Amino acid sequence: MSSPDRFLLAGVMGWPVMHSRSPALHNYWLTHYGLAGTYVPLAIAPNDLEAALRALAPLGFSGCNLTIPHKERALAIVDTVDPVARRIGAISCVNVRPDRSLAGTNNDGYAFVQNILQQQPGWRADAGPIAVIGAGGGARAVVYSLAERGAREIRVMNRTFARAEALAREYGPPVTAIAWEERHQALDGAAMLINTTSQGMVGQPPLDLALEELPMSALVCDIVYVPLDTPLVAAARRRGNRTVDGLGMLLHQARPAWLAWFGLEPEVTPELRAVIEATLHA
């Protein structure tokens, strides 16, 4: 645990960043655990990322989270990158080590799995084929975590087929790329459907996906959490599928970050979820 005479500092770097709910989440925990400190949003333009990251240590920060558009660029800036972040190809969390060097990791895949398990404790990655919409950074973290947990067939669909192909080629079996035009039929027999794109987010069009071929037993997940009920989640729930929204992924990715920064692994509780949900409607 950090020294009691030290004011704890951490934050999230993005461009833009003021929409992030991470400050509300981390500052809730600082208050809950009686710690002196703050977690701040840091609006960092892409060209300023290296200077901003290098400023963390002298300013007394324990670390920071990274969001769009910094996750991939940070790979070339930090001093060390752990195998998980290297495999995913993006950094979601930077830790300032005692020698002031910067270590990069990625907690998104861990958070995705923990969110599923918290809401659907009986879930298994090897229960059947998994359909993943998208091939960007979110998809890479999700696919990595699914493969690590034993998924036997992951069907990746993306508007730009080349990106889905590249992801499948890099990860190898069990990942296969499916043409966007075949996305509706690719849901046939799936045990799970996951949207990793921004489609359905506030200000974005809904995901263009028909669910007729999706089995009623399939679990439907969306990593978007603004709104909680994306058009995909709402449509799946109406037809009787079990659903998992994206808010828990945000909450759980913060736990290993806290452990690295402050030496404490906080809990994701119903009260915390309610507090952050309230900010979505503010």
What sign does the dihedral 149-155-159-164 (CA atoms) show?
A: positive
pLDDT at 86: 96
The pair phi, psi for residue 157, each rounded to 5°, is -125, 130
Q: What is the structure's pLDDT at 3? A: 54
Q: Which two tokens stand for residue 180?
A: 């966007």
Domain boundaries, the chain: 8-106+253-280, 109-245
Instruction: Say whether domain 109-245 belongs to CATH 2.40.50.100.
Output: no
Out of 71, 87, 155, 255, the active site residue is: 71
For the whole model, what pTM was predicted?
0.94
Look at the block and give the residue holding tokens 């036997």. 152
Type and span of the H or E element at 148:
helix 137-148
DSSP assignment letter at 206: P
Q: Chunked in runs of 10, what are the mean pLDDT values of the chain (282 residues)?
A: 76 93 97 97 98 98 94 96 95 97 97 97 97 94 97 97 96 96 98 95 93 98 94 98 96 97 96 95 74
Task: Let me know: does 79 contact 100? Beta carbons within 8 Å.
Answer: no
Q: Do the first three CATH levels of 8-106+253-280 and 109-245 match, i.e. the same topology? A: yes
Please state which architecture CATH assigns to domain 8-106+253-280. 3-Layer(aba) Sandwich (3.40)
Q: Tell me, what's the pLDDT at 68?
A: 85
Distance CA 248, CA 117 (A): 10
Asked about 71 being catalytic, the answer comes back as: yes
